[in-house]
Amino acid sequence: MKSKSIISMILVAAVCAVFCACGNQTDPKPSEKSAQTTTATQSEAVKPEHRKVIIDTDTGADDASALIFAANLENVEILGVTVLVGNVDLEQSAENALAALETAGCDAPVYKGSADTLDGTVKNAFSVFGKDGMGDVDLIHPKKQAEDGDAVDFIINTVRNDPNEVELIALGPATNIAKAIQKAPEDMKKVKRIWSMGTAGLGSGNASPVAEFNVYADASAYKLMLDSGLPVTVIGLDMCDGEAMWTDRQFEELEALNDTGKFIADSFGKIREFYKSNGSENVMNCDSTAMMCALFPGFVRDTVNTHASCVTEEGVTYSQVIFYKEGFTYDIVKNDFDYTVTLVTEADKASFYSNYKNSIR
């Protein structure tokens, strides 16, 4: 998801493996980050569950900030980062991911995946985060390169070799994940959970009044993922608005905090300009909100079990995702679906910025 637009829109009621444990620390040397870690606001009384994740991303500034957040959680093992076209083209997405990981002192491998959509349509990448997706301020100079292997194969092999342990966190279009499901459906049944930053949730869209960018970029892939029967948790645009939006003062705090905070603040320069041009002083950071929903204990306050249906027919509702709530009786539609999609309906938005800032101290 990308916070691609804040233009006034109608409210639509849509009830419709390489090991890398990257954690935060007090010593600023990046090379020591995986050895000496703390997680600033997590309770020390209860040790968080160990999590093994693959992060799938079309790396713009919000994706990069989410990668940095995940890399600073001591209980999170980033097995790899898979990239695809979306915010930017495939090559730039890989470069941005590598730069973000290096900023966080994390050596997780990066694999390149889809340069087009599920049906082979070439995407013309567009980003309100700047041409490079990272503010166009010359931030991206990674020392490493992406791995030689294919992202889709990496996803399949990692899930196959560690059944029911690997979670996929999708911050961009669902193309890589859909291709993995198509190529190896039995292996992909072994995924523990897919977390998706996508859809408008129960609110308004940003690609259109009813559609969110990640879904719009490849609606067929998103539909395939939702229809697969795999356990999917969706974090929509409505979880990153309001109190979750970052203010000018908060960006200034990040910039003054440390090199990591400055990297993040600088990368958001173009999107901040875009928001201001549309009348808003505050900025969504939906990918980091989604990452916090997936990985930060207690941040999700409420969810609902649903059947989710993605519209792939061309028209004004193209790529809208409609959620059918389990146990709700509709007047017309017969509610006899499988309810494999969990929709996050409430998060602790007021704590989002402080949780994030504390994680990168």
- The reply to whether 63 falls in a domain is yes
If pLDDT is split at 50, 70 and 90, which confidence band does 127 have? confident
Cα separations in angstroms, 275 against 82, 215, 224: 28, 21, 32
Residue at 243 is within a domain: yes
- Answer whether residue 21 is part of any domain: no
pLDDT digits (tens, 9 = 90+) for 75-93: 999 999 999 999 999 999 9
- Does residue 25 form part of some domain? no
Structural domain count of the chain: 1
Domain membership flag for residue 23 = no
CATH number for the domain harbouring residue 66: 3.90.245.10
Q: Look up 136 and say whether it is catalytic.
A: no
The pLDDT tens digits for 41-76 are 444 456 789 999 999 999 999 999 999 999 999 999
| Distance separating alpha carbons of residues 90 and 243, to the nearest angstrom | 32
Give buried/exposed letters for 37-57 (b at 16+ CB in 10 A, else e). bebeebeeeeebeebbbbbbb
In a domain, 6, yes or no: no
Which of 36-40, 66-70, 83-87, 180-184 has the weakest average pLDDT? 36-40
Asked whether residue 8 is assigned to any structural domain, the reply reads no
Q: What's the whole-model pTM score?
A: 0.88
- Selected catalytic residue, list 27, 56, 58, 302: 58
- Element spanning 232, H or E: strand 232-235
Judge whether residue 37 has pLDDT over 50.
Answer: no
Q: How confident is the prediction for the chain on average, in pLDDT?
A: 89
Window from 34-48, 53-67, 107-121, 346-360 with minimum mean pLDDT: 34-48
Distance CA 237, CA 202 (A): 8
Helix 286-295 / helix 352-359 crossing angle, nearest 10 deg: 80
- Per-residue pLDDT, averaged over 324-346, amounts to 91
Residue 26 has pLDDT above 80, yes or no: no
CA distance 108 to 354: 26
Structural domain of residue 190, as residue ranges? Answer: 30-359
Mean pLDDT value across residues 342-359? 98
The answer to the question of residue 353 being in a domain is: yes
